[in-house]
Amino acid sequence: MNHTCMSGMMGGSSQLLSPALKQLFNEHGPLRKQMEELYVMAQEIKGTKEQSGLQELHEKVKHFVGELDPHSEREEGFLFPMMANYIGRETGPIAVMEYEHDQAKMNLQLFLDGYSSLAGHADQAKMDELAGYAIQAYMILTDHFMKEENVLFPMAEKMLSEQEKETLLEEINKIKG
C-alpha cells in the first residue's frame, strides 16, 4: 500500500512512498521541530551570559540525540546498505548521506562533551562555541533532511523491489525509539 507524501520544503511536490520510506520521511517532522527549537535556543545563547539557557539547551540536545539516534540507525543500518547494493557506497548519494550523519553527530557530541567539561561555569567564548556546535548540527540536518525527502527517498522508492521495501519495513520497526 502506498501513501502520498507532501514535502513543503520544495514547493509541495508529491511523492508516492512505500510504508517504510513513508515512516522514515514522517520521522523527520518531529525531529525538525526539535532541531528548530535547538537552533533558536542556541542563537539566543550566543552573545548572552545566561548560563541557565545553556543548561536548558544541554537537556534538549541530549533528548534530541536520543530521538535522532534510532532514526539514523534505521537509515544507516538498513536503507543505506540496501541502496548501496544498487548505487555503491564509496561515492554518490549514500556517501554524502553517511558523511552528513557523521558531521551532525560529531557536532552534537562536541556540544555534549564541551558542556560536560564546563564544571558549572562557562565564559562567553565557550558558550558561543558550544552554541555554534548546536547551530552547525541544525544547518547540516536541515539540508540533509531536505535531500533525503526530495532525492534519496524517491530514488529508493524507484530502485528497491517490493520485497526489499517489505524487508526494510520489518527491519526498521525492530529498532525502538
* Residue 144 within a domain: yes
CATH of the domain at 110: 1.20.120.520
User: How confident is the model over 40-49, as pLDDT tens digits?
Assistant: 999 998 877 6
**Higher-confidence residue: 9 or 135?**
135
Residues 28, 148 contacting (CB under 8 angstroms): yes
Alpha-carbon dihedral sign for residues 96, 97, 103, 107:
positive
pLDDT digits (tens, 9 = 90+) for 22-33: 999 999 999 999
51-74 helix and 93-116 helix, angle to the nearest 10 degrees: 150
Overall domain count for the chain? 1
Task: Report d(CA 124, CA 116) in Å as an integer.
Answer: 16
Averaged pLDDT for residues 95-106: 97
Question: Does residue 8 form part of some domain?
Answer: no
pLDDT tens digits, 54-79: 889 999 999 999 999 999 999 999 99
pLDDT in tens, 106-124: 999 999 999 988 766 777 8
User: Could you list the residue range(s) of the whole structural domain that residue 31 is in?
Assistant: 18-172
Q: Is residue 13 part of a domain?
A: no
Task: Let me know if residue 156 belongs to a domain.
Answer: yes
- On whether the CB atoms of residues 168 and 138 are closer than 8 A, the answer is no
**3 is a domain residue:** no
Domain assignment present for 118: yes
12 in any annotated domain: no
Does residue 5 fall inside a structural domain?
A: no
CA distance 91 to 109: 25
